[in-house]
Amino acid sequence: MQDLEQFRLDVRQWLEDNCPESQRQPITPEEQYFGGRNATFPSEDARIWFERFRDKGWVCPEWPTEYGGGGLSPQQGKVIKEEMKAIRARTPLYGIGIWMLGPALLEFGNEAQKQQHIRDIIDGKVRWAQGYSEPGSGSDLASLQCKAEDMGDHFLVNGSKIWTTAADKCDWIFCLVRTDPDAKKQEGISFLLIDMDDPGITTTPIELISGESEFCQTFFDNVRVPKENLVGELNAGWSVAKALLVHERKLMSEIGSDSPREVVVPNQAARQYLEFEDGKIADAELRSRLVDYDMEMHAVGLTHFRTFEEKVAGVRSAAPLVMKYVGTEAEKQKSELLLAIMGSQGLGWEGEGFNRAEIDTLRLWAMSYAMTIAGGTSEVQLNVIAKNVLELPQG
């Protein structure tokens, strides 16, 4: 405990000495740095901050040192996060490689794969895309059809993936592919790492209602993938896929507490936008919603804390499974409440008359719905909880 307190003081001092002033404030989505072969830093300070952070070993503080990680304990990793949050230090590097692929590769990858990919993820040299969903396979992911035929010295991949976030900006993609069409659906799937520069891969952005285009459909037309890019055993990719999803869902369960944007808190917004009578919010319905929300968030915070303590103690728990559903639904509830509090000021997608926080609130509201879909929809999460946690009879 003493050591952890000393560690906290050291972290605080290091951040004070090394985090540029400009990197201690919320960022716009455009300023988030995802790395990659063709990436440029949004500013010189962002570059300096990333390089210092990387050299300190804190991009992935808990990953093993032999691959470029910090070799720290989960408690130390948590302290770094807390101290960064306290001074509003920006996360210097984001990415699916850090959140999802890295942890899965550390568990299932062979030595050569770890050597080839882990350090590049930490150094921000390679940006990864996730190739899971297909036009006919989302919630029922195991029905996927994108196929990889064994051609002796390589796999030949044909098919397409959809909703591949930022695939047009990514360098590599990890994909679930069908390698045995005759096996039971989960048993005929393999997990492949594919270089997006390989001939036969094309990406088509999917335009969203916002006019922005975050997603792509990614097509594979006779793409030759070296055999050494298979992670885990042939036809055993479903286990890798599920383990990776656990990391994705953990990330999403914490989405509200780790937003890079200027986040408006309902209580704060209430003081700014609502009328008060005798020291209380005049609108009784909104007052009651705020209290509900506060209690809910307190419970979510305590459960996150419990989940962390259970992880450190090596206790198996159902909480991580439940928290993707709870965390993303709470975020949706918060956004709904904020818009109700802001009234007509919460209706600005862009343009005059709305400040940045108001515009971001509306955009985060739209995003909060997307988060209840990505990584497994809320309905499907409830099915999983019913089956695996509550062990309810299946209909």
Q: Does 362 bind ligand FAD (CB under 6 A)?
A: no
Q: Does 138 bind ligand FAD (CB under 6 A)?
A: yes
Q: Does 386 bind ligand FAD (CB under 6 A)?
A: no
Give how far Cα 395 sits from Cα of 34, 140, 195, 383, Å.
43, 16, 42, 10
Give whichever of 173 and 230 is closer to ligand FAD, judged by the CB atom.
173
Give whichever of 133 and 345 is closer to ligand FAD, judged by the CB atom.
133
Give whichever of 244 and 342 is closer to ligand FAD, judged by the CB atom.
244
- Rounded-to-10 torsion of CA 27, 29, 32, 37: -160
Whether 63 and 70 have beta carbons less than 8 Å apart is answered as yes
Contacts of 228 (CB under 8 A, 6+ apart): 112, 113
How far apart CA 203 and CA 171 sit, in angstroms, is 12
SS3 3: helix
Q: Does 374 bind ligand FAD (CB under 6 A)?
A: yes
Whether 264 and 354 have beta carbons less than 8 Å apart is answered as no
- Contact segment (CB under 6 A) with ligand FAD among 13-21, 127-135, 189-197, 252-260 equals 127-135
Sole binder of ligand FAD in the list 108, 128, 132, 293 (CB under 6 A): 132
What's the min distance (Å) between Cβ of 176 and ligand FAD? 8
Q: Does 370 bind ligand FAD (CB under 6 A)?
A: yes
Residue-by-residue DSSP string for 290-313: HHHHHHHHHHHHHHHHHHHHHHHT
Q: Does 379 bind ligand FAD (CB under 6 A)?
A: yes
Q: Does 272 bind ligand FAD (CB under 6 A)?
A: no
- Contact segment (CB under 6 A) with ligand FAD among 129-137, 187-195, 300-308, 328-336 equals 129-137
How far apart CA 385 and CA 151 sit, in angstroms, is 40
Q: Does 207 bind ligand FAD (CB under 6 A)?
A: no
Secondary structure letter of residue 25 according to DSSP: S
SS3 214: coil
Sole binder of ligand FAD in the list 163, 174, 191, 238 (CB under 6 A): 163
- Contact segment (CB under 6 A) with ligand FAD among 113-121, 128-136, 314-322, 334-342 equals 128-136
Whether 165 and 215 have beta carbons less than 8 Å apart is answered as yes
What's the min distance (Å) between Cβ of 321 and ligand FAD? 16
What's the min distance (Å) between Cβ of 329 and ligand FAD? 13
Q: Does 373 bind ligand FAD (CB under 6 A)?
A: yes
Q: Does 130 bind ligand FAD (CB under 6 A)?
A: yes
How far apart CA 95 and CA 120 sit, in angstroms, is 12
What residue ranges bind ligand FAD (CB under 6 A)? Answer: 130-133, 138-139, 161, 163-165, 370, 373-374, 376-377, 379-380, 383
